[in-house]
Amino acid sequence: MLAILLMAPFVWMLLVSLHESRSSIPVLRDLWPKEAHWENYRFVLLHPDVPVFRFLLNSLVVAGAVVAGQLLVCSMAAYGFARLRFRGREFLFSLFLGSMMFAGTVTQIPTFLLVRQLHWLDTYWALIVPGIGSAFGVFLLRQFFLQIPLEIDEAARIDGAGEWKVYWKVILPMSRAALATLGAFAFIATWTDFFWPLIATSSQDMRTLEVGLSIFKNSYNGQNWPLQMTAAVVTLVPVLAVFLLLQRHFVKGVTIGSIK
Amino acid sequence: MTRREALAWLAALGAVPLGCREFESSSVALRLANWGGAGDDSDYYRLVKQIYREFEAAHPGVILKVEGVPGSQEYVTKVLLDHVAGAMPDVMALDASSGAVFIDNGTLMDLAPFVEKDKAFSLGDYFPNVVDIARRDKAIYAIPTDFTPMVVYCNAAHFREAGVAVPTGRWSFDDFLSAAQRLTRQGRYGFEFANWMPGWVMFLWNNGSDVLSPDGSRATGILDGPRSVEAVQYLADLVLKHRVAPSLSQAAATGVDLFATGKASMKVVGHWYLASLAAFKDLDPHEIVVVELPTNLPQSVTVMYEAGQAISKNCRHPEVAWEFLKFWASQGVQSRYNQSGIAVCARKDVAEASLKGEPSKVAREEAFLRIVPSARSPWGASVEGYDRVEEFGQKAMDDILKNGVPVQAALSKAAAAIDKEFALR
Amino acid sequence: MKRSGTPYFFIAPALLHLVVFGFLPIMFALWVSFFDWKILKGTMPFVGLGKYQELMNDPGFGNALLNSAKYALVSVPTGMAVAVLVALLASDQIRAAGLFRTVYYIPAVCSTVAISMLWIYVYLPENGLINATTALFGLKSVDFLNEQGWAMPALAFMSVWVGLGPRMIIYVAGILGIPPSLYEAAELDGARGWRRFWSVTWPMLAPTNLFVLVTGTIAAFQLFTPVYMMTRGGPLDSTDVLGYHIYVESWKKFHVSNASAQSFLLLVVIGVLAAVQFKLAKRQLEGYSAG
């Protein structure tokens, strides 16, 4: 039952995407298309002027780099905040928290000007670098690291492990589920972001899937729901594939933790 | 820190400067920005792409870098942000409805010197009031490509069925109402009303009123003046009192184009609608008749939504950009571009050449051309931030139609809010 | 390796990033808020605290603040309660089930835009999912997103559902992170079902709870996309929340200075709330933190 409820948006998108291009939003009783218009997918995927696979590559490169960057940068900081004692710790942590509370819409203009000063506009750098640090990520991992009993790293330290080794060999392996969670969030946020890649890139070759495929939104007369949903499904499928491949990591934390 | 960690750090820092990407080559790259057109029409895309390639072939060493920004609101935001950062594209498509913000903030180049110097180009080839949309005194900021006056689409079969004559000239608000009443029947509305202000502001004009004062500086006393209230009350009555148009929630609930599916007999919309109607099988194209808007004035007035091409002030290659504008607006290119049927060509020769072929089509195109001299430019072409005015107008209409707010109260509130925003500008 | 610089080594990369891409833009916004920056004209006269004074007398801003507070008050606790419940149900299945695990992540994965479109359809009058269903019982159709009393509850209800995915993922990870030895110990003491939940799961989830509460409050005050997609602040400004209000100020009116000043007031509001939340959680967290 719950699974059906959770599946609903995806199923709805899929069904709408199979309706005839330019037709209106189907009501519930017409939701099942009389005939499946798979040509919508051919149209979107093989459009001669819309390099879908280039968009896909961009999205993969950008999301992959952001995930890798965030996992390393945030877990290091979270380890520092959760496990180590140092002067100004609470203050520094509150700075991270504070930065989250500031409305993102306002910082976009200065960030845009900054990225322009760095000559990063229309490059991967503009899409990746602003995303690799995340106060949200630091906070999330810190909270998970706090859950791990302190005795575990103390035992490792007594065995002569340095901080890097405790972080890399003890805490990280025990936090697979947490890391996978942050990775998933970072991946999803980067993958579905629209506004920043829209303003930070201008050439078609630098567009991500979300931005590149948004051209299917409009027809002469209002929105083209079926094509828009086709584009949404095309955007979504790679993400689901990544999740299917990596899903075992979401539960790994427990098993490894219990072996210790 | 171990040595390995330190090395990793250095490598990371060293990689950063590689991110700089500057274009340095002997060829000229011209950046063109537009709002991406209709993504679900591949013929249109193919044609435009081919036109770009032809320009490159005719101008060796020039590369066109097209920057399509999907969505009209996103397009305006993106190009304005480029302007703030000093990185405007060289050439931009300029929509009349958002023209003022670009022209009046000095983002565009005055094209008058080019027009004067270039004997191969004549502004006389274009409809004069279409050219005037982007004119400020002697300065001209865009060369128009195409435009569309807003008109009433009628389903002639429905009119015959109801025994109502399709109007051929001026008709009043009362004529429109009585036609709509006689056209309305079970499962069919006389008029398909949508709360989209660019599609209903002309009813204010045709009742001798307006949204803003003539200089565009204030809304109080105009938008909430007696003649505006009367016009908006008229529209609200069509929905709420006479029920010749669906309520907005009924329209949203069906989610279909009522006119195109034969569920409404009249609709106010522009030329682009013809291109989309072709996709609807229920509608016989011969039965579509285009007539002027109903009016309480001696002469009906409508609005003209237009698109043109402009050159940015910081364009690095103005001469090349001008060549592109000239090429884009030439008869050869425009006669092909205009075949998409989205709008009326701004060139008189091309527009008149479209008057051939099947008689009902010729009649429609003639109707559009007849209306051109009486069409006004939209407020957005002369008032910066007019999209906000439209938002307030639509909100007022929503409040009236969906939440039962009296017309006068809703319009007074909107007018006051608009004036307040203008004061902060 | 035991050097006093080590902790700073761990936080340096994140801190550097925070300074460049967090504080630099925020400081810029702070500076801008003392001017009247006409971003398109390029003029920038100094106005001191003028923008902040304006806000104190701006009923529109007050309305937005109130709407945001209402929204947060309803959606945050409800959202958390629902997410914990679902996460408890789901965590066993996620542990066990194979392929269908991914199902649980779908709501989190779908872009907000697509989800907002689905919900527009759910809330449509007459033919929408809810109205089509209630019509079977003879109830009158409601235009949820366009009637004053309904729009805000409709948004809050949707946000509970939409936020369920991400929140649930966090809770599932939190639940899976609880060392099984604790459950074994509880079992030896005879704790089962709800008792086990209250004696082991809930206390162990304290850090997760704090996280979801704080980030949930922040997100609630910054709510933007669904409002932008579905109501545009209407009807009658009843869904004009701060996140949307600031967006309009910044990107529609290009009043960057006003938007900056509003963001700083918002920062103060959320900051106070977060400080209270941390204080309340402090007791629960004792024994977990290293300091």
* Distance, CA of C221 to CA of C263 (rounded, Å): 11
Q: What is the pLDDT of residues A195-219, one digit of tens each?
A: 899 889 988 889 998 888 877 765 5
Top mean pLDDT of B21-25, B196-200, C2-6, C223-227 is at B196-200
Q: How far apart are the first and last CA of chain B?
A: 55
Statement to judge: residues B169 and B277 lie in one domain: yes
Q: Which residue range forms the structural domain that includes residue B191?
A: 149-303+376-423
Q: Is B424 on the interface with C (CB under 8 A)?
A: yes
Q: Inter-chain contact B1–C9, Cβ cutoff 8 Å? A: yes
Statement to judge: residues B119 and B163 lie in one domain: no
Q: How far off is chain C from B4, nearest CA to CA, in Å?
A: 13
Residues of A numbered 6-65 whose beta carbons fall under 8 angstroms of chain C's beta carbons: which are they?
A: 6-10, 12-13, 25, 27-28
Please give the torsion angle defined by the CA atoms of residues A43, A45, A51 and A52, in that order, rounded to the nearest 10 degrees.
140
Q: What is the pLDDT of residues C136-194, one digit of tens each?
A: 888 888 888 888 889 999 998 888 887 887 788 788 878 877 878 888 888 888 877 78
pLDDT in tens, chain B (425 residues): 444 444 444 444 434 433 333 344 468 999 999 887 556 667 777 888 899 999 999 999 999 998 888 777 888 989 998 998 888 999 999 999 999 999 999 999 999 999 999 999 999 999 999 999 999 999 999 999 999 999 999 999 999 999 999 999 999 999 999 999 999 999 899 999 988 999 999 999 999 999 999 999 999 999 999 999 999 999 999 999 999 998 877 776 666 788 988 899 999 999 988 877 877 777 888 899 999 999 999 999 999 999 999 999 999 999 999 999 999 999 999 999 888 788 899 999 999 998 888 898 899 999 999 999 889 999 999 999 899 999 999 999 988 998 889 999 999 999 999 998 888 77
User: What residues does B185 pair with on adjacent strands?
Assistant: B188
Residues of chain A contacting C169 with CB distance shorter than 8 Å = 181, 184-185
Residues of C with CB under 8 A from a CB of B: 5, 9, 39-41, 124-128, 131, 141, 143, 146-148, 232, 234-236, 251-255, 258
User: What mean pLDDT value characterizes chain C?
Assistant: 83
Confidence of residue C79 (pLDDT cuts 50, 70, 90): very high
**CATH superfamily label, A51-259:** MetI-like (1.10.3720.10)
Q: Inter-chain contact C177–A188, Cβ cutoff 8 Å? A: no
Statement to judge: residues B133 and B225 lie in one domain: no
Residue B163 lies inside a defined structural domain of this protein: yes
Nearest to A214 by CA among C115, B74, C229, C120: B74
Tell me the mean pLDDT per 10 residues along chain A, length 260.
73 86 73 86 83 92 96 96 90 90 83 91 94 92 87 87 90 86 87 88 89 71 74 85 73 40
Quote the tokens at residue C116. 């907002």
**Closest partner residue to A214 among B49, B71, B77, by Cβ?**
B71
* Distance, CA of A81 to CA of A173 (rounded, Å): 18
Nearest to B78 by CA among B118, B33, B109: B33
Predicted confidence at residue C93, as pLDDT, reads 67
Q: Is A118 on the interface with B (CB under 8 A)?
A: yes
- pLDDT higher for C287 or C261? C261
Question: Is-contact C125 C131, C-beta < 8 A?
Answer: yes
Statement to judge: residues B164 and B141 lie in one domain: no
Instruction: Count how many domains chain B has.
Output: 2
A182-193 exposure pattern, b = at least 16 Cβ within 10 A, e = fewer: bbbbbbbbbbbb
Statement to judge: residues B188 and B63 lie in one domain: no
Instruction: Decide if pLDDT at C111 tops 70.
Output: no
- Binning chain A into helix, strand and coil, the percentages to the nearest 5 are 75, 0, 25
Residue to substitute from A2, A5, A6, A59, interface C, most C β-carbons within 10 A? A6
What CATH number has the domain bearing residue B193? 3.40.190.10
Residues of chain C contacting A246 with CB distance shorter than 8 Å = none
- pLDDT higher for A118 or C128? A118
Predicted confidence at residue B130, as pLDDT, reads 94
Residue at which a domain ends, from B325, B340, B367: B367
Give all chains having 3 or more CB-to-CB distances under 8 Å with chain A.
B, C
Q: Which domains does chain C have, with CATH numbers?
A: 56-285 (1.10.3720.10)
**Closest partner residue to B253 among C41, C125, C258, by Cβ?**
C125
User: What residues does B303 pair with on adjacent strands?
Assistant: B376
Residues of chain B contacting A214 with CB distance shorter than 8 Å = 70-71
Residue B74 lies inside a defined structural domain of this protein: yes
* Distance, CA of C191 to CA of C200 (rounded, Å): 9
Statement to judge: residues B265 and B332 lie in one domain: no
Predicted confidence at residue C4, as pLDDT, reads 61
* Distance, CA of B345 to CA of B365 (rounded, Å): 11
Q: Inter-chain contact B101–C128, Cβ cutoff 8 Å? A: no
Q: How far off is chain A from B214, nearest CA to CA, in Å?
A: 31
Residue B109 lies inside a defined structural domain of this protein: yes
Residue B15 lies inside a defined structural domain of this protein: no
| ipTM score of complex | 0.88
**Closest partner residue to C166 among A10, A185, A247, by Cβ?**
A185
- pLDDT higher for C245 or B44? C245
Residue to substitute from B402, B424, B425, interface C, most C β-carbons within 10 A? B402
Predicted confidence at residue B253, as pLDDT, reads 61
Question: Is-contact B88 B107, C-beta < 8 A?
Answer: yes
Statement to judge: residues B249 and B282 lie in one domain: yes
B171, B177, C47 from B174: Cα distances, Å: 8, 5, 54
Quote the tokens at residue A189. 């946020």
Predicted confidence at residue C102, as pLDDT, reads 66
Domain boundaries, chain A: 51-259
Q: How far off is chain A from B38, nearest CA to CA, in Å?
A: 5
Quote the tokens at residue B170. 């001026």
Statement to judge: residues B64 and B201 lie in one domain: no
Q: What is the 3-state secondary structure (H, E, C) of chain C?
A: CCCCCHHHHHHHHHHHHHHHHHHHHHHHHHHHCCECCECCCCECCECCCHHHHHHHCCHHHHHHHHHHHHHHHHHHHHHHHHHHHHHHHHHHHHHHCCHHHHHHHHHHHCCHHHHHHHHHHHHCCCCCHHHHHHHCCCCCCCCCCCCHHHHHHHHHHHHHHHHHHHHHHHHHHHHHCCCHHHHHHHHHCCCCHHHHHHHHHHHHCHHHHHHHHHHHHHHHHCCCHHHHHHCCCCCCCCCCCHHHHHHHHHHHCCCHHHHHHHHHHHHHHHHHHHHHHHHHHHHHHCCCCCC
Predicted confidence at residue C2, as pLDDT, reads 47
